[in-house]
Structures are given as C-alpha cells and as structure tokens.
Amino acid sequence: MIELFGHPFSAFTWKPLIAAYARDVPLVFRLVAPDQPDNMARLAELSPAGQMPGLIDGAREIIESNAIVEYLDRLGSAEPMVPTDRDAALRARMLADVFDDYVAAPLQRIVADAMRPEESKDPLGVSQARAALARSYGWLEGRIHAPWAIGEAFTLADCAAAPALFYADWVSPIPPGRLRDYRARLLAHPAVMRVVDEARPFRAYFPLGAPDRD
C-alpha cells in the first residue's frame, strides 16, 4: 500500500498527485492537518523539516516531490514522468527545477509575507520576489514547447509547472503569450483538473485571497 502524506492545497503535494493520477497509480492519501495529528507526526518523522509531501511504500520512505515522482515511475505501465531518452530526461528535470526554484520559491516568499503581522512585513522582499517572477516568466516564455513543457510528452516538468504557475498567476498575473496559454493547457489536463478540484474547499485559506477564476 502506497501512502502519500500531504495536503490538497499544497503546491508540492500536487506534483506527485498529478503524476499518480496521470499514470493511474493507486495510493492512499494521508491528510496532513492539525485535526490529523498522527499524520502530522508521521510526516515529521519522514522529513527533516516536517515538510510535505512524503511517501511510504512498505519499507521505503521517500521525501522531496521530484524524488517521489521518479519513484512513482517504477509503478504501473504508463509512460514515465521522467523520459527514458536521456536528453529529454535532462530537460524535464531542468525545467522542474526552474519551476520549483524560480517560480514556486518567489511565489512562496510573497505568500509568506502576506501571513506576517504588519510590523514584520518585508515590502522590499516582496518587490524582489515579484521581479524574480517577472524574469522567470520572460525566460520561460521562449523555452516552453507545445503542448507540454518539453514537447509532446507530459513529464515531471509539467507536474512541477502546474502548481507553480497555478498559484503564481494568482499573485503576479502571467502576461498574454505562450506561457499563459501553457498554463491554460495544464489546467485542462485531467490529472491537473482533479487536483484543482480537490483543493477547491481550501481556497479561503489563501492569504492573498483566491481570485474568482480557475
């Protein structure tokens, strides 16, 4: 029995969920929330920082979303999220890191600042994070292929792109163009649609206010 510990509103939990749904890999979802103390305690044992997601499959314990996606590639018979072609695999891993480090990371800085008390706000940090997002949007605009990040195959890069672009557009709208069109295609993918729907009940918790769309 595969157990995935996380939360439906967590961007990094989305990544392995998208991979599992796209490849039809069965798993048991363990909600990490204050009213589920056993799951919180188990995740704290799994991760040095207690961060989501975490996966348990028998004796195997895996943390870090990209590693979990790669592990899920061992299961089932569908096309893997990390391509077997070495060049395609390299590009998928590279773009997954870009979405994690240069889209999701500045997004999280903006969201974290919104949760701070007024006297602890960091307007300079938020301005820098928004500028970093704008640079990332521009870089990605010329490098994203169609229909998916590296071309015809839906890969690890798309698993990372979906949550990163979904939430980033809420706080710093993506300008019209290829990247914005790519986000729309992601949101129409069945596996992504499923995680978006599962997260809907928690939108009220988004500190900047979830927009009335998506």
Share above pLDDT 70 across residues of the chain, in percent, rounded to a whole number: 100
Q: What is the CB neighbour count within 10 angstroms for residue 31?
A: 13
pLDDT tens-digit profile of 110-122? 999 999 999 999 9
> Does some domain include residue 65?
no
What is this structure's pTM? 0.96
Q: Which of 25, 27, 116 lies closest to 73, judged by CA?
A: 25
> Does some domain include residue 56?
no
Find the domain containing 140 and state its range: 86-189
pLDDT tens-digit profile of 41-92? 999 999 999 899 999 999 999 999 999 999 999 997 789 999 999 999 999 9
> Does some domain include residue 98?
yes
> Does some domain include residue 154?
yes
Element (DSSP H or E) covering residue 39: helix 37-46
> Does some domain include residue 43?
no
> Does some domain include residue 166?
yes
Q: Give the count of domains, the chain.
A: 1
CATH number at residue 180: 1.20.1050.10
> Does some domain include residue 116?
yes
**Which residues share a beta bridge with 4?**
29, 55
Contacts with 136 (C-beta within 8 Å, 6 or more apart), sequence order = 98, 102, 103, 106
Q: What is the CB neighbour count within 10 angstroms for residue 138?
A: 12
Contacts with 211 (C-beta within 8 Å, 6 or more apart), sequence order = 170
